[in-house]
């Protein structure tokens, strides 16, 4: 996935609001956890191909509703993910609910990609997503791509900065929603890849967020972070790592790099849902590794036609959706 550059001048400047203005859901989480137990409790196994993956728990990235996938969010705000900030999702309940029902027929969770934001509608929209996911018996993995609301994006790694407070406020809100099973935060910038950044950010989180936090990396940054030692850091801190891997070479080399890992992948220009399935199965067949936990799979993406990204990775084709498992 290519991250689209966001023009900050396109985004309304809104005074920082506390999330306490919007009541949080008080229902206790009933999350499915993927904890890294000791090697005495879990056998280390070697696997290859589709056997590396947990076929019973897979997800798919979701940004715009398939029936309302339009350019205007990109044109107005610079990125389609601002749909969750400025749209009124009350008006999209049926569209999203229909998509979630389709997804639930093949997948167990949705990956919702959002910026770090604090306008009241953003929090209200997250509550609507939580409700719709619950209705469809889906879990949500939130993926925060922070962007630059209150400073440069890398500032979110630094405690005391406005960006750090914003990301933590978002994570705290998401953690109290009933369908949340994880919150991934983007990491990766050319010329600035340091595994210790992940350790320091993890240390800045309250304990309840440490168990929900995942690191998200685009394909181009994975080789460098593996070489620099992120697998060791992630294992030590029990952090699950989301890696976008789209080429057969990178799936073969890096789909087994972390003890706890979600592989996000997909293919462009599939001609049908069945073609998408066979091509993704061929892609994932290149995976191998020594595992404590099977990989989880996340498909990129449910629908992306005419959304401004200029990609055709959609898995939902002609009213049909398939899973590689």
CATH superfamily of 42-299: Glycosidases (3.20.20.80)
3-class secondary structure, 200: helix
Concatenate the DSSP letters of all residues of 210-254 into one string: HTTEEEEE-GGGHHHHHHHTHHHHHHHHT-EEEEE--SHHHHHHH
User: Of the candidates 111, 53, 109, 37, which has an alpha carbon nearest to the alpha carbon of residue 256?
Assistant: 53
Phi, psi (deg, nearest 5) at residue 93: -55, -45
**β-sheet bridge partners, residue 290:** 46
CA distance 20 to 290: 44
Q: How would you write the pLDDT of the chain (325 residues) with one tens digit per residue?
A: 555 555 444 444 433 343 444 444 333 333 344 333 333 233 344 457 899 999 999 999 999 999 999 888 888 888 999 999 999 999 999 999 999 999 999 999 999 999 999 999 999 999 999 999 999 999 999 999 999 999 999 999 999 999 999 999 999 999 999 999 999 999 999 988 999 999 999 999 999 999 999 999 999 999 999 999 999 999 999 999 999 999 999 999 999 999 999 999 999 999 999 999 999 999 999 998 766 678 999 999 999 998 888 889 999 999 999 999 9
């Amino acid at each position: 996935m290519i991250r689209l550059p966001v023009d900050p001048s396109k985004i309304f400047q809104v005074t920082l609001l506390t999330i306490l203005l919007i009541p949080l859901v008080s229902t206790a989480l009933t999350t499915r956890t993927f904890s890294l137990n000791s090697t005495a409790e879990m056998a280390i196994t070697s696997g290859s191909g589709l056997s590396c993956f947990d076929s019973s728990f897979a997800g798919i990235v979701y940004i715009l509703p398939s029936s309302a996938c339009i350019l205007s969010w990109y044109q107005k705000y610079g990125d389609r993910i601002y749909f969750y900030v400025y749209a009124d999702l009350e008006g999209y309940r049926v569209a999203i609910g229909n998509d979630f029902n389709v997804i639930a027929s093949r997948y167990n969770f949705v990956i919702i990609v959002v910026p770090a934001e604090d306008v009241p509608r953003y929090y209200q929209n997250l509550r609507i997503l939580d409700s719709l996911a619950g209705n469809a018996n889906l879990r949500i993995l939130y993926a925060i791509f922070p962007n630059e609301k209150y400073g440069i994006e890398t500032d979110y790694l630094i405690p005391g900065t406005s960006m750090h407070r914003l990301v933590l406020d978002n994570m705290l809100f998401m953690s109290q929603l009933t369908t949340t099973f994880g919150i991934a935060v983007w990491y990766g910038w050319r010329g600035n890849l340091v595994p210790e950044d992940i350790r320091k950010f993890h240390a800045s989180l309250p304990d309840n967020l440490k168990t929900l936090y995942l690191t998200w990396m685009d394909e181009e940054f994975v080789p460098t972070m593996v070489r620099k030692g992120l697998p060791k850091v992630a294992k030590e801190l029990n952090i699950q790592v989301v890696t976008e891997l789209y080429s057969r070479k990178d799936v073969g080399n890096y789909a087994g790099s972390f003890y706890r890992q979600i592989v996000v992948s997909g293919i462009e220009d599939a001609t049908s849902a069945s073609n998408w399935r066979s091509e993704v199965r061929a892609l994932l067949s290149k995976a191998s590794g020594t595992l404590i936990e099977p990989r989880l799979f996340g498909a990129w993406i449910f629908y992306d036609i005419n959304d401004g990204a200029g990609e055709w990775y959609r898995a939902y084709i002609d009213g049909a959706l398939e899973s590689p498992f």
